[in-house]
Structures are given as C-alpha cells and as structure tokens.
Chain A
C-alpha cells in the first residue's frame, strides 16, 4: 500500500491521468469508428519520428543545464546537413547518411558555442536557451534566403534563389528509414521497423554513453556540481560535452523526423519544436534535473499517442475539433507541472 502511494507520488498524478486518458482513448476508438490498427500504426510512426528529438534533451537534463528549450540549435545543424546533402545531389541511403555526416560538424561547432554560452549563465539556462533557440531560427531564416543554394528542387522557382519554405524529400531520402524492413500487416498497419530500430540504437548509444566515465561525470555534475568539482571533474567541460551531445542528437533527430515526414521545413518551422519534445520527456516521468531512456521512450509513446488519438476519437465523440486545445493545455500543463514541482533533495 505504502509503496503504491510512494509510486504515485513519485510518478505524479498528471502522468497517471494522461496514461489512463490514453488507455480510455484506445478503448473508445472502436466504438466511434476509428480503426485500432491504423491508430497504432500512426502512433508508432510518430513515435519513431519524434523520439530522437526527445532523446536529445536528456544529456543536458543530466548535466544540470535543465530542459533544453534551445533544441532548435541542433535542429538548425540538421537542417544545414539536410539541405547541403540535397544540394550535392545525394539520394537514398547515401543522402540520409550524407545529411547526417554533414550535419555533425555543424552540430559540434554550434553545440560547443552554445555550451560555452550556457556555462556563463548558470542558473538561468532555460530562459536563455529559449531565446538562443528563437534567435538562431530567425537568424537562419535570413541565411536560407541568402545562401547560394542552386538545386532547382529546393529554391524558389521564379527567383532561382532562396530556399523554399518546405522542400519535399521525394526522390531524395523520404521514408528511407521507415521503409527499411517495414512490416505490413493487412491494409492499414505498417510498422516502420527501420526507424524504430534506429531510435533504439540511438537510445542504446546514449545509454552506454551515460555508463562510460564521461557520462558518469556528467551525471555527477548534474547532481551536485560542487561535489563533482571536489572529485576532480571539470564542471564546465562536462556541461559543454553534454550540450554538444544534445545538439548532435537534435541534428540527427530532425533528420529522422524529416525522412519520415517527407519534407524539410525551413524558416519559422523549427521555432517551437522544442516545446512538444520537452512535454514528451516530462510526461515520460523525467524531472527538470533527471531523465532516463525509459522516460524518453515512454514519454514519446504517451505524448504522440495522445496527439494521434485525440483528433480522431474526441472529434468523433464531440463532433468538434478540440484536439488543438487539448494538445496545448496538456503539453504546456505538463511543463508547468515539472517547473513548479519542488525538487526533491535526497542528500
């Protein structure tokens, strides 16, 4: 009894409510004419699409930098990789791998700069990260117009310069991960095996990373910077590494997202991308200073599940589109809950 109560207190009421809400949605689905197999297929697809972006938040949470509202920094690196790979005419697997390879140096450079900045503003990371994210997205909006891209499928047709707002990946690497080993059952169920495996691979690499010497040091810095410093760990270095890893994962995450979505979204597209990722991580049970792989996977599945199910189910029940309101209240309510929760000190 006591352990159950402790579990509830630890896991938090909002998450339990969300969990049962999702179960309720799945139970209600057949009664309002929503196909379960299509729904599950959609949920899995969107899970794979978003999971790495959520995973990208973990290193910074662990190192005590808080929730990375500056995720767009990594996303921009990914966008650079993606657009450059297209510009070089790389297609298929080569295109996706090329985009990843090209984006990594940018991610490391941006991450290092971003990390050095965050090291100077300890305690205010989250607000500043948010505005660094906004700044870089708007700054790159200028560059997307000015950079000398020439590939005709990317630039505006009439002007011959300046990238389009959305660029289709058809003929490049759209669905390249999704279709690998994809498992079709019946008409409407498709398991994007390749993408899910890639997500698990990334999660496993991050898991291993946090078991390594560096990873342990990062966690130590996040738990208690003074103690870590006394133990001979360079706090700033570890924080920078965590930001770089986070930025690299953000770049990889957006590339996976795009190949599944089929489009590259530029300009203001990435402006608010950090918020749903943060909400997903928190729904999975993470707090502002602690996150695990389980939090990532569970949270993304729950959050994307609700995002997929509410439009179809709730709309059929209420005959009106309430999903937008539910999405806003749910995701931001979850972030608010995490920000206002008294952080437990168990030392």
Chain B
C-alpha cells in the first residue's frame, strides 16, 4: 500500500468521525449539562453498549459487511433472560443462566443467518437487515403465543392474564445491574462498573488473539478475496458461517449485559433498535464496511452516545423543543450510516485505481469473476 492511498483513505474514513466530533462539541456546551453528569453517563453507556458493538467486528473481518443479523443474537439473549426471570435465578448466576439458555439458540440462529447470507453474496447487509425483521416475526410468535402455553412458564407474574404470552415489559429486578454492581469502583465521584468493563476488556483480548489464530487468518483472507481463499483450501462458506455464529453469540451476551444495566426489558421492542445503534456506533467510530478495529468501537460508542445525551437538551435550549433534538440525533445517526456506506461504496467503485495500491481493491474489481468461480 502506498502512503498516499493510506492518507486519502484515512481522511475519507474520518469524515463521519469529524462531523460527529464537531456536532457534539457544538451541542455539549449548549445543552448546559454538567461535566460530571456527562462523564458518568458515558462510562455507564460504554459498559452497557460496547459488547454489542464488538459483535460486529468478526463479520466485517470476513468481508461480510456490517452484520445487521446481530439482532438474532439479541433475541436469543432476551429469551435467555425471560427464562432466568421465570426461574427466579437472582444476580450474576441469573445472568450466567440466561447466557446458557441463550447460547444454543444463538448458535442455531447464527447458523441459519450464515446459511442465508451465503446465498446472498454481495448483498449480505440488506439481507441481514430483512432477516432481522423476519426473525422478529418468529420471535413474536414464540414469545407471544407459545410461551406459557406450549412452552411451560412457572411464573404467573410475567405471563399475560390470558394464560399464555409474555407481558409487554419484563421486570428484570432479579438480575438488575448485578454485573455492574459486582465490582463497582468510584473514581472522583464517577461509578465505574469494573466487572462489566473487565469482561469487555477480556473480549478485546479475545478478538486480538482470535485474529492471530488459523480461523482468524482464514476469515481475513476470505475478507480480502473469496476466490483466492477458496483455491488456497480455505472452506469459504463454512468460515463465513462460523464468523456469523460467533457474532450472533457475542450479540446475545451483549444484549444480556445491555438489559441487566437497563433493569427492564420491552419484550417485543428491545431488539428492534439494537442493530441500528450498534451499526451507527461502529461507523461513527470510523469503521467502514471492510475494516473495523477495537478503537473504532470505543470512539464510536463515546461519540454516538455523547450525542444522544446532549442533543435533546441542546434542542430544548436552542428551539425550545426537546423533540427537535431527538429528531436531530436520529437524523444524524441514520445520516452517518448512510454517509459511511456511501463513502465506502464510492471508494469501491473507484476500485480500479485503488486496486493498484493494494489487495483490498481487488475485492471490488472481481465481484463478477468471484461469483462465477464459486
């Protein structure tokens, strides 16, 4: 890779980051929120959200784009939590139980997702997005009609009065913030959920280690070029499925961490925004469809959530309407995703000249050839 190429790529990647930096930098003083409050919120939200965002890294590495199918994992986590609450397992054991219940479901859903995405090469993102909608329907069917009826539920408190189906809001008091409070350190008045951050740190180490394993290297190779990987003896389809399965499992764990922090769960809506927030965060952090790193996750979570904290207040101060601030942040989050995707696709289209500079571009050039070969 030549130096010039790198520089241009760096600048283009960071357009989204820069826009968000400027935006939040302008909105933060206007909002009039205290620094202490903002820092506390940010620390809480890093603990709450980063695990979910990390689940996106592996599929990006394997060249499958942003895994909108991660909501499948979120649903698996929610089913796990429903059982943990139903069995009334309290505290961290409850979370572990939820993970154990969610794990086989997440693996199964991840496998389905991988199989589906293998049939939709070149449009994995839009397919994953629709797959999330589709599974949302099945999730509703299972949770609203089967649970309490076909699937026995022990607790009457969480089922609807008609005898089957789970209530709209699930109270997670039994596991509420059990992980965050397990090891809470106070630094200058800011409560730091050390146990949660420790788990996130362990996940970072796992990802760093995983990249160096045979499987991780295979994924990176596939991300560069499926045809070459295939002729080098890498089982392309299987590896892609493994990437999605791991991603789905991570999303399941991430959703459980997210919900234990929130303390209650909107049974039928909790996963709807999960994919949007995770994808927006990683893109705002400077990731692209083909490259996502650990710093991208942290930068993105901090920037996106800083905006989500300050915008409604800034809107209220500037226009006298918090609603405008809320629409504003939504518009900018959607806009950030669109912009990041556009910039990436744009670069891909200019792949011929980029191809000269490195391997990455050849992925864009040879789409047709690749499909013919596989």
A positions within 8 Å CB-CB of B: 66, 69, 117, 120-124, 126-128, 130-132, 134-135, 138-139, 141-142, 145-146, 162, 267, 275, 320, 322, 324-325, 327-329, 332-333, 335-336, 339-342
Contact A128 B342 (CB under 8 A): yes
8 A-B pairs with least C-beta separation: A328-B137, A121-B345, A131-B338, A138-B331, A329-B137, A332-B134, A340-B119, A124-B345
Interface band, chain B: 35 or more
Q: Can you list 6 residue pairs at the A/B interface with Cβ under 8 Å?
A: A117-B342, A124-B344, A131-B338, A135-B334, A142-B327, A332-B134
B92 interface residue (CB < 8 Å to A)? no
Check A131/B337 contact, CB under 8 A, given A332-B130, A335-B130, A339-B120.
yes
B83 interface residue (CB < 8 Å to A)? no
Of B12-20, B140-148, B178-186, B203-211, the one with at least 4 CB within 8 A of chain A: B140-148
B positions within 8 Å CB-CB of A: 65, 116, 119-120, 122-123, 125-127, 129-131, 133-134, 136-138, 140-141, 144-145, 319, 321, 323-324, 327-328, 330-331, 334-335, 337-338, 341-342, 344-346, 348-349, 367
Cα distance A66–B367 when bound, in Å? 17
Distance between B181 CB and nearest chain A CB, rounded to angstroms = 36
Cα distance A325–B335 when bound, in Å? 30
Cα distance A293–B133 when bound, in Å? 27
Contact B133 A332 (CB under 8 A): yes
Cα distance A324–B139 when bound, in Å? 12
Residue of chain B at shortest CB distance from A267: B327
Residue of chain B at shortest CB distance from A331: B133
Contact A325 B141 (CB under 8 A): yes
Contact B134 A121 (CB under 8 A): no
Give the residues in chain B near A130, CB-CB below 8 Å.
126, 129
Contact A123 B367 (CB under 8 A): yes
Distance between B250 CB and nearest chain A CB, rounded to angstroms = 22
Distance between B297 CB and nearest chain A CB, rounded to angstroms = 20
Give the residues in chain B near A341, CB-CB below 8 Å.
119
Cα distance A309–B267 when bound, in Å? 27
Cα distance A329–B139 when bound, in Å? 10
Q: Which of B65, B137, B344, B367 has the most CB of A within 10 A?
A: B137
Give the residues in chain A near B137, CB-CB below 8 Å.
325, 327-329, 332
Give the residues in chain A near B342, CB-CB below 8 Å.
117, 120-121, 128
Give the residues in chain A near B337, CB-CB below 8 Å.
131, 134
Residue of chain B at shortest CB distance from A117: B342
Contact B116 A128 (CB under 8 A): no
Contact A142 B328 (CB under 8 A): yes
Distance between B369 CB and nearest chain A CB, rounded to angstroms = 14
Contact A142 B331 (CB under 8 A): yes
